[in-house]
Every structure is written in C-alpha cells, then in structure tokens.
Structure 1
Amino acid sequence: MPFAIHPATSERFDDVALLLAPRNPDSPTCWCLTYRLPPKENQALTARERPEKVRELCSGHIPPGILAYDGADVVGWCGVAPRSDLHAFTHGTRIPRVDDLPVWTVWCFRVRGGHRGRGVAQALLGGAVEHARHSGAPAIEGYPVDNRGARVNATMAYVGTRSLFENAGFTKAADTGSVSDGFPRVLMRLALEQY
C-alpha cells in the first residue's frame, strides 16, 4: 500500500483540519459531524465551535476517523467509528439495522485535490477495516451509492461507491431508503471475526 494510514488522534488534529475545514472559517461546514450528532446539537454548533468539537473527539478513546499520508503529506480522511456512536444511524430510518451486532461504520471519505484517482479512497477503506478489526469490531458497514459505473458528483461522492466497497471484500447486506446524487445507497458489510 503506497499510503500510510493513522488514526485521527489529537496529535494529528491539524491534518484533520486541513482536510475538513472550509476555506472560510465562518462557514458552517459539516466537519464530519452531521451523522455523528443529534440534529439539534449539530445545528447549534457555530462554525467556530465545530473544529473544537472535532478536536475533542480526536482526544477521545476512539478517534473519529483515520488519515492517509503520502510521505509526510496528509492526502485523505475517512470517518469510521462504532455505529452506536453515530446518531443518524442509530436513530434514523433510512439506513436499516441488519442485526444487533455492535458493528462499526464507514460513512465519509475525503481526498485532497491533486491526489484523486490514485487509490487513496481504497487505501482509506482498507485502513478503516484494519482499524475496526484492531478495535474488536465483529463487522464493518458502509452505505455507498450504487451508481453502476455512472459518474458521481464529487461533492456527493463522500459516501463512496458500491464498487469501492466490493473491491475491499464487502458484500451487499440490504437496500436502504437513502439516495445520494440521485443514486440509491446500499448497505455493504464485511465480517471481521466470528461473534
């Protein structure tokens, strides 16, 4: 693998910010919090409070994601955590719960401009699988678009594609009620150990 993968710990917060922060610090960008927080809490955070919330998460027991590096340069981000930590997936109705396993979830990919098309997202997904496995997860899920090879708008491609997940060994476990960029999203899962 040409990219090194590391957890998004507090020591790497500046690299997280490089990937998630908007150009305008007063812009209320997601900061990969939309799926994690209850809607009222998420909407109440100001643009200046959002990075501090992510900094707090990076200091926690379970980092909020992983980072990909090409040498010393950070080139990608992937949100990965226990599904139970993500409000949208524990309380929402569009992404089904397949069973009661304490699965982990991959919900966001971000690749820096100039580094796309080089396999960064694939490396991030592989790193997410290893991070979840090392943390004792019995399985890992993602909810990518089933675009069947059609082009996906770069802004909406953050959820990944079905083929990205299939190339990493995931299989379709369920349909979802969610759509992104006009494409249906599917629940893809990979078993990590016997539970």
Structure 2
Amino acid sequence: MSRITTEKATIERSDDIQHSLTGGDDGPSCQCMWPMLTNKDWNATNVDERRAMFHDEIAAGPAPGLVAYVDGEAAGWIRIGPRDRQRRIPRTRAIAAATTEPFGDPGVWSVTCFVVRRDHRGKGLNTELLRAAIDYARESGARLIEAYPVDTSEGEHRSNDLFHGTLSTFLAQGFQQGAPLTRGRVLVTLNLRG
C-alpha cells in the first residue's frame, strides 16, 4: 500500500509543486493562477508569466496550498486560502449569487483547485489533500471553507473539468451542500467553528 503524505507549499518545494502540476490536463499552462486572476489579466498573461506569478506568490507566503506525496514522490496539489485573495471568485456571477458570506471576510477560505498526476489517480489523493487542507485552514484561523465542486452523479465530465473537485469528496468530509452554480457545479461550505 502506498504511503500518502501532504506538506504546505513553500518555496523550498517549488520543484515538487511543478512536478505535481505537470502530470496531465491543464496544470502546466494554468499554474493554478486561474482563481487569482480576472479574465482580462488571465488573457494578458502567458505560461511563463503565470509560472513567475505563482512562484512569487509561494515565495511571499503564506502557503497557497498543499502538495501530496505518494511514497515520497510529488503527486498532487490543492489550492486553498483566504477567499478574498482569489480575485476571480467575487467576479464569478454564479458564486456571487450563491454565497451568503461577505467577500471581504478573511475568515472565509476557498478551495479552488485540485491537480493529481495521471499516474497517481485513483489512490485517494483528493481526499487526503482535502483533509489536510481543512486542517491547514483551521490552524490558520479560518472560520469557514467554501468550495465549488462538480456533481458527477449526473452526466459525463472530462477529467480536465474536475479540477474543482467532486461533490462526493467534499460531502464525505462534512461539507454542506448549498446552492447550485452552473453546469453541474454546486456551492459547498464547511463551518470550522461549529
């Protein structure tokens, strides 16, 4: 059985973070900057610029996410952090309409991205990443975690569309299902002080 561990995404782990992102789908081109940029800014950047922005974000701290390791090899990534730092979220109409939390509250954190290398899929990494992310948010003083996963119980979904995570993964960790968003996605929340 494989040993899965997680670590905070610090600058010392830059190579591991990049290894996690380059295992398939859009990780290498996105550089997990999609939640951080408006559409205008996203369209004005290229991969190298996004990689530099991500590097600078990690270097500045606090850790914008966690890296999962399988038997010591970097294998997965999750972005979690204060929602008010993720610029795309308040500009996403469906989320703005569905959330009941004020956007300026730094106690509200968001999970916005999962990446698992193809060679490590099916090993439960998303579950382990989410568990560790909940602990990280709680230790950091977050009051509530919000996420926007895909409900895979209906229709077909490309693996590339699952970077938001799946509804079942969040529900299994105690998140409460909220309002529907768009295209099979829903808002979920976890109260860390309840």
> What TM-score do the two structures reach when normalised by structure 1?
0.87
| Alignment match, 1:62 | 62
Aligned to 1:122: 127
- Bigger relative contact order, structure 1 or 2 (CA pairs below 8 A, ≥6 apart): 2
For 1:74, the equivalent position in structure 2 comes to 74
Across the aligned residues of Structure 1 and Structure 2, the Cα RMSD in angstroms comes to 2.2
More deviation, 28-37/49-58:
28-37
Give 2:170's aligned residue.
165
Contact 1:104/1:140 (CA < 8 Å) preserved in 2?
A: yes
Deviation at 1:22, TM superposition (A): 8.2
Contact 2:35 2:88 in 1 (8 A): yes
Q: Deviations over 1:82-134 (max 9, x none)?
A: 11011111222111322235311111111112211111010011111111111
Q: Find the aligned partners of 2:154 and 2:132 in 1 and give their Cα distance.
A: 24
CA distance in 2 between counterparts of 1:104 and 1:169 reads 16
| C-alpha distance 54-122 of structure 1, shift in aligned 2 (>3 A) | same
1:17-71 Cα distance to aligned partner (Å, 9 max, x none):
1122489xxx981111112112222222222222111110111232221111123
Match of 2:8 in 1: 7
How big is the shift at 1:147? 2.0
1:121-175: CA deviation from partner (whole Å, max 9, x where unpaired): 1001111111111110001111111221655321111111111101111111222
- The equivalent of 2:88 in structure 1 is 88
Alignment of 1:112-191 (within 5 A): 112-148=117-153, 151-176=156-181, 178-179=182-183, 184-191=184-191
Unaligned runs of 5+ in 2: none
Does residue 108 of structure 2 align to residue 103 of structure 1? Answer: yes
Question: What amino acid is aligned across from residue 123 of structure 1 in structure 2?
Answer: E
Unaligned runs of 5+ in 1: none
Structure 1 consecutive aligned stretches of length 4 or more whose deviation exceeds 4 Å: none
Instruction: Give, as a single letter, the amino acid of the residue that structure 2 aligns with 1:69.
Output: Y
- 2:17 maps to which residue? 16
- Is the contact between residue 101 and residue 108 of structure 2 (CA under 8 Å) also seen in structure 1? no
User: What number of residue pairs does the alignment pair up?
Assistant: 186
Percent identity (aligned): 33
Show the counterpart of 2:39: 39
Between the aligned partners of 2:76 and 2:13, the Cα distance in structure 1 is 13
- Pair 1:53–1:164, CA change in 2 (3 A): same
8 Å Cα contact 2:116-2:125 kept in structure 1: yes
Counterpart CA distance in 2 for 1:145 and 1:126 is 18
Alpha-carbon contact 1:98-1:173 (below 8 Å) kept = no
